[in-house]
Structure 1
Amino acid sequence: MERAATLLLLVTLAGCSSSATEAVLAPVSEPRVAARSIPDYQPSRPAPRVLADYLIVDKSERLLIAYSNGQPIRAYRGIQFGDAPMGHKRFEGDERTPEGIYTIDTRNPRSSFHLSLRISYPNRRDQAFAAQYGRSAGGDIFIHGQPTGYRGPPLQGDWTDGCIALTNEEIEELWSLVPDGTPIEIRR
C-alpha cells in the first residue's frame, strides 16, 4: 500500500520530467535542475505566498529547492550536512544524510536546533537493511537551523549528525513554506 501511494505520488509529480514512467522508475536520475533561474533566499525578500508541495535536496550541489505545482519557488544554497555527507545513511551514528524519497512528517519549534522539520527516515527498506547487519538505521533526521541559543555566525563546514542545516533565517522561511506531509527527494 505504501509503495502504491508513493508511485501514485511520483506519477502526479511527474510533470517536471519527460514522461511519467521515467519519474516512477528513476526519480533520482533526472537531470540536475537549472538552479540559476530559481529565486535564492534573501533576508530582505518576503516569502512567496504559495506553499511548497515538493522539496529536492541535491547533496553534491549543496542545494535545497522548494517547488509548488512543478515550479521552483525558492532555492537555498550552501546547505550543510553531517561529517560524512556523501552516500546514503545506513546506520545510526554514520553521520550521513539519507538519500531517496521521504516526507516531512512533523515539525519541532522547541528542538535543540532552530525550527526543525523532521524527515521520515528510516523507511521500511532502511530498517530492513540495517537489521541485516544487526544494527539500528538511526532516525531523527531533520532540516534545521543553527543550535538553539547560539548567537554567532552560521557554523561552518559539515557539522550535523546527518541532518540538513540552514541558517536560522533560511529555516524560518522554509518552515513557513513547507506543510507536514510534503515529499522530499534527497539526491547525491
Structure 2
Amino acid sequence: MHTPGFLSKVLGLFFFSFLACGAKANDVWIDVNTIDHTLTVMQGDKIQDVFENIAIGRFGTTWHKVTKDDKTPLGDFRIGWINEKSQYYRFFGLDYPDRETARRALEENRIDQDTWLTILKATNQERTPPQNTVLGGYIGIHGIGRGDPEVHDQFHWTNGCIALTNEQIDLLGKWLKPGVMVKIR
C-alpha cells in the first residue's frame, strides 16, 4: 500500500526523467547482444565497430536481477563512471539499477518505496544509483584484467557484467564516456 502523496512524487519524478531521456540521432550508443555474444558500437543507426566473443554473467541474463545471482541484467542503461585502475583492467560502470529495473522490483515487492525513490532520484539527477540494494550493483563493461584468456574464450564467467579482452576494452574505450547509452538484450 502506497503512502499519501506517493503518487504525486512518483509522477513528478517520472515526468522529469521523461524529459531528461532524449537522445540525438548521431549519438554513440552500445548494443550488447547476449545471444550472439557481440557488442556493437553504434552512431545513430550506423555500425562503427563490432566486438565478438564477449562474456556475460555465468548464469545468463535476466529482467529481474538480484544481488549475487551472477546474471546480466537486460535493459537500457548509461555509462555512469569509469575506473581506469580496476582489477578487470578498465571498468565502465553502468547506471544499474535504473528506473525500469526499480519500477519492476517495486511492483513485485522486491524493494520498498524508499529504495525505489532513492534510485529514481539518483537517475533523475544523472548520479549513480545506490549500488548496495537487493537488486545488486557494480554492473559494467570491463576487461579480463589478469584473468585467463582461455577461460574468457570458452565460458561466461562474470558476476553479471559484460567482459571483453583487455585489447578489446582499449579499442572500445575511445567510444565510452559517462552518459553513453548501453542496450543489453
Matches within 5 A, 1:136-147: 136-146=134-144
TM-score by length of 1: 0.69
Do structure 1's residue 169 and structure 2's residue 144 form an aligned pair?
no
Q: Which residue of 2 aligns with 1:149?
A: 146
Identity %: 26
Q: Which residue of 2 aligns with 1:65?
A: 40
Instruction: Report SS of the residue matched to 2:157.
Output: coil
- AA aligned opposite 1:104: I
Instruction: Report SS of the residue matched to 2:61.
Output: coil
Query: Given the alignment, which residue of 75, 89, 93 partners 1:114?
Result: 89
Matches within 5 A, 1:6-155: 6=21, 8-9=22-23, 12-13=24-25, 53-130=28-105, 132-133=109-110, 136-146=134-144, 148-150=145-147, 153=150, 155=152
What is the rounded CA distance, in whole Å, between the counterparts of 1:150 and 1:92 in structure 2? 23
What is the rounded CA distance, in whole Å, between the counterparts of 2:134 and 2:164 in structure 1? 27
Q: Which residue of 2 aligns with 1:181?
A: 179
More strand by share: 2
Structure 1 residue 111: Cα displacement: 1.1
Runs of 5+ in structure 2 lacking a partner?
1-15, 112-132
Contact 2:82 2:177 in 1 (8 A): no
What is the rounded CA distance, in whole Å, between the counterparts of 1:59 and 1:152 in structure 2? 19
Superposed CA offset, 1:7-44 (max 9, x none): x32xx44x8xxxxxxxxxxxxxxxxxxxxxxxxxxxxx
Given the superposition, is the C-alpha separation of residues 129 and 5 from structure 1 closer, same or farther in structure 2, using an over 3 Å criterion? same
More deviation in 124-133 or 101-110? 124-133
Q: Which residue of 2 aligns with 1:4?
A: 19
Contact 2:63 2:101 in 1 (8 A): no
What is the rounded CA distance, in whole Å, between the counterparts of 2:147 and 2:65 in structure 1? 30
Given the superposition, is the C-alpha separation of residues 154 and 171 from structure 1 closer, same or farther in structure 2, using an over 3 Å criterion? farther
Greater RCO, 1 or 2 (C-alpha within 8 Å, sep 6+): 2
What is the rounded CA distance, in whole Å, between the counterparts of 2:67 and 2:35 in structure 1? 22
Query: Given the alignment, which residue of 157, 163, 167 partners 1:159?
Result: 157
Superposed CA offset, 1:89-137 (max 9, x none): 4211111111111101111011120111111110133235445135711
What is the rounded CA distance, in whole Å, between the counterparts of 2:158 and 2:76 in structure 1? 20
What is the rounded CA distance, in whole Å, between the counterparts of 1:136 and 1:129 in structure 2? 13
RMSD (CA atoms): 2.1
